[in-house]
Every structure is written in structure tokens, then in C-alpha cells.
Amino acid sequence: MLDLGNKRIVVTGGAGFLGKQVVDRLCQSGAQRDKISVPRSRDRDLRDFANCQRTVAEQDIVIHLAAHVGGIGLNREKPAELFYNNLMMGAQLIHASHTAGVQKFVCVGTICAYPKFTPVPFKEDNLWDGYPEETNAPYGIAKKALLVQLQSYRQQYGFNGVYLLPVNLYGPEDNFDPRSSHVIPALIRKVYEAQQRGDNAIPVWGDGSPTREFLYSTDAALGIVMAAQGFDGPQPVNLGTNCEISIRALAELICELMAFDGEIVWETDKPTGQPRRCLDTTRAQELFGFAARMDFRTGLKNTIDWYRQHAA
């Protein structure tokens, strides 16, 4: 078990939705807050190699969470930006970390890296069995390239980089911007605004048939820090709950929790994304003892309560 007590740690994306939870979990696990640095994109554009070098200089551990990411709408609108920005940030940060002598690099990848049609539950060994779902592919492939980079740097240089594949995240402080949010915050906001206007229906993209799996942000942070402390292997590792829910059931559950009894209007001309998503979480349990803790209904309620308090 890696002792975090005297380690200098940089968390890219550490001021974001997941990043704040990772910083808190690092401190709960023995890290000293004054030795944790959180570069901000306004000061350190990680698409620039010199900024990557400055960011990792004299650091012991790098946890790379920073990403240009959004929901299906953003994926359709800006595929080139999503590919370029995520590839450049990650590839240059890994190279800078290797040349700076960083002891441990934890790279957080994406569920979007999996093939469009993958046996359910998704096993890490299926990662290369096909092309990702088309709208997710530019983002997913850019992030998957970082796995290849880490494995090749381990082989040639002995660089200790690990790669994690978290499923879709949710929780308080998520991104609720309708232009770039994922499905849970998007649905919560739609229901809330319909209630504010007195509407008796909400539109939802697709037909409700695809399934998804969701990991609460504090659980994701726990898994990331457990991997930072206790996992040093080359193989990718899923982080999830192994619980699958359809978009239709999710929308109905959010309406129930928010006491909205209006109609859900399915916009079947809109894209639905990958048909199914559910992770096999055996590897994380076996390699470093991670298992999700948050009950989904409770996690949704916490997220709804937070949004209602902060909607203004």
C-alpha cells in the first residue's frame, strides 16, 4: 500500500465535479492538502507541452482527471475538439511525467472507449473487440490511446502508469448545463424547469430503450485513490456498480423522486447512443478491493436536492 503522507500529488481537473471528491479522498487517505496541487485550465492549458512540464515538475504522483467531455449533444457538435483536446492533454502529460521521473501516474479513461456492441457486462478484455459507438468514438478513442501509451511506456521505460475505466458519473455539483451535460443532470434540470413553468410534459431524446450504469462521484473518487495506493499493473480496470438501468426507467425514477406526474415525450428521431452499458467490476474488487457503496436511489435524491438548492 502506497503511503500518501509525504507525497507531492498533482490532480488535473482537481477543481471539477469529480476532482474535488478525489482531493478530499486523498486527504482522508493520508495525503497532506498542502502537498496536493490543482492546476487550473485558465492558467495551465495542458494542450501545451511546456505547461505539462511545469505541472508535473517535482511531483511524485499525477492523477489525470482533466477532460473535455459532455453528453451526446456535445459529442455530435464538437467531435474534432473532443478528440484533439483529450489526446493532446493526456499524451503530453504522460510524456512529461515520464521525463520528470514521476513515481505513479493514474489515468482516468472513459466507458466510451468500449466497442458499440460489447457483451454485457463489459469486461476489460473486450476493450479492443470493435469500434466505439459513433457519437462517442472521437472522445473514446482519444482516451483509449492513453492506455496504449501507458502500457508502452511501462514496457520500454518501466513507467508506472495505471488506467481506470469509470462508468457514467453523477452526484451533487455535476454539470447541469443543457448544452454539455450527461443524462442524469439533464433530466433533473428538465423536470425542475418544467415544474417551475407549470408544464405537464418533458421531451427526452431517444426511445428510452438503451441502458446505462451510474457511479456516484464519491465512490468514483474512492476507487481512484484506492488504485493510486494499491494497484500497479498494466491492465485497464473498470470502476462501476455492475447495476444496469434503462433510460426509460431512469427518467421515470427521476420524475417519481421529484414528484413530477407529467408525461415523458420520447423524441425517437434523436440519437440514443450505445445500446447497453454495464460493467463487470470483478477486476477492481480482486486487484485493489474496490466496491461501490452508494445506493442509486439515495444518490439520485442527493443530486436532486443539491440541484434544487443551487438551481438559481
Q: In which region does residue 202 sit, left (phi positive, over 0), alpha (psi from -120 to 50) or beta (all else)?
A: beta
Q: Which residues contact 60 (CB under 8 A, 6 or more apart)?
A: 7, 8, 9, 102, 103, 104
Give me the residues paired with residue 162 across strands: 106
The answer to whether residue 163 is catalytic is no
Is residue 306 part of an annotated ligand binding site?
Answer: no
Is residue 143 part of an annotated ligand binding site?
Answer: yes
Is residue 287 part of an annotated ligand binding site?
Answer: no
Tell me which residue of 48, 41, 4 sits closest to 24, measured CA to CA.
4
Helix residue spans in the chain (DSSP H): 17-28, 49-56, 72-77, 79-100, 137-157, 183-197, 217-230, 247-257, 282-288, 296-310
Is residue 167 part of an annotated ligand binding site?
Answer: yes
What is the Cα–Cα distance from 307 to 304, expressed in whole angstroms?
5
What phi and psi values does residue 12 have, to the nearest 5 degrees?
Answer: -70, 140
Is residue 19 part of an annotated ligand binding site?
Answer: yes
Catalytic option among 84, 131, 139, 153: 139
Is residue 301 part of an annotated ligand binding site?
Answer: no
Is residue 166 part of an annotated ligand binding site?
Answer: yes
Is residue 261 within 8 A of residue 188, CB to CB? The reply is: no
Is residue 116 part of an annotated ligand binding site?
Answer: no
Is residue 212 part of an annotated ligand binding site?
Answer: yes
Is residue 190 part of an annotated ligand binding site?
Answer: yes
List the binding residues for NADP(+).
Answer: 13-19, 143, 166-169, 182
List the binding residues for substrate.
Answer: 190, 205, 212
Residues with a catalytic annotation lie at 139
List the binding residues.
Answer: 13-19, 143, 166-169, 182, 190, 205, 212
